[in-house]
Amino acid sequence: MRTICVAGLYINIKSADEAFFSSRFKDYECEFSQNPDMTMKTEVLNHITAPEGEICFQQNRVCLLKLPNGRFCRYLKCTKTNEIVFMITYTADYSNVLIEILDTLCIDGLGPTNYEYMYTGFMFANRLTVLGGTVLHGSSIALDGEGIVFSANSGTGKSTHTNLWRQHFGERAEIINDDKPAIKIEKGKAFVYGTPWSGKTSLNNNVKHPLKAVVFLSRGEQNKIKTMDALNAVLNLSRQLPNPFYDSEIGTKTVDFIKKLYEINTPVYDLECNISDNAVEVSYNGIFKGELL
């Protein structure tokens, strides 16, 4: 079991695929002898048995149980065989998590390591949300030490746009995380952190920068940026922040976090753009110079 520090959270973590996660976690490893903020363990097994518990939710192949010891257990069954293919057992505050994955699991070409990667990231996001932070689905960079998160639905072009910024500004631009940066509010100011969970790429750095802006990106023939009105900002943020169906408290804390972002006047923008250097210039001018279109 290794200890990593992500967004200020100390996590004791035991990986099933040590080779893969050694490279993913190496920049976040640290020494920490006190009680960690979170403990996660993953096991890959040839058979998974569900524990006894009270059914809280059941639909199709998914079941959520509340166990006699107060923990929760969520599992997914295979449609064809009815066997459990993965199961997560966790405390209500996500401080202690056990992920069990069937060794033959393969869904849409994704195997045990893919699911270990995804679900350790999901559980970290839930734990951070409980503690007052969040993980925002987006591609994040820092320009001259100030962080920006470009957010949108998958496939919209977030990574493409941040890559254009890196090409345009060179060494002035630093990648923070290409898919799931963490955000925390500390002493009345928002900061964006790198995390080792960065989607399909390994583009992430163990860094912390003040959050300059959140930018919701959409495709357009012309490049234009404007301040997003409050209603649309709340709707867009709520879609891209953790909101698991199985935990209404996480949803409540997510709403609380959005409120805090507004209370400290975090800028939220609406950017329509194409794939061009002009898209970078327009978005930069809007974010840093206030030249909105």
pLDDT, one tens digit per residue, over 93-127 is 999 999 999 999 988 889 999 999 999 999 999 99
Q: Confidence band (pLDDT; 50, 70, 90) for 243?
A: confident
> How far is Cα 268 from Cα 40, in angstroms, rounded to an integer?
34
Q: What is the share, in percent, of the chain residues with pLDDT greater than 90?
A: 89
The reported pLDDT for the residue numbered 258 is 96
pLDDT at 165 > cutoff 80? yes
pLDDT tens for residues 124-139? Answer: 999 999 999 999 999 9
Q: What is the pLDDT of residue 36?
A: 95
Q: What is the pLDDT of residue 107?
A: 85
User: 184-210, pLDDT tens digit by residue?
Assistant: 999 999 999 999 999 989 999 999 999
Look at the block and give the residue holding tokens 């609380």.
256
* Domains of the chain with CATH codes: 2-130 (no CATH), 134-289 (3.90.228.20)
First to last CA, the chain: 51
Which tens digits make up the pLDDT trace of 8-47? 999 999 999 999 999 999 999 998 778 999 999 999 999 9
Q: Which residue has the tokens 């996001």?
A: 125
208-233: per-residue pLDDT in tens? Answer: 999 999 999 999 999 999 999 999 99
Q: Confidence band (pLDDT; 50, 70, 90) for 91? A: very high
DSSP state of 275: S
Residue by residue, DSSP assigns 107-162 as BTTB-HHHHHHHHHHHHHHHHHHHTT-EE--SEEEEETTEEEEEE-STTSSHHHHH
Q: How confident is the model over 252-266, as pLDDT tens digits? A: 999 999 999 999 999
What's the gap between Cα 222 and its chain centre? Answer: 30
Non-local (6+) Cβ contacts of 22 within 8 A are: 15
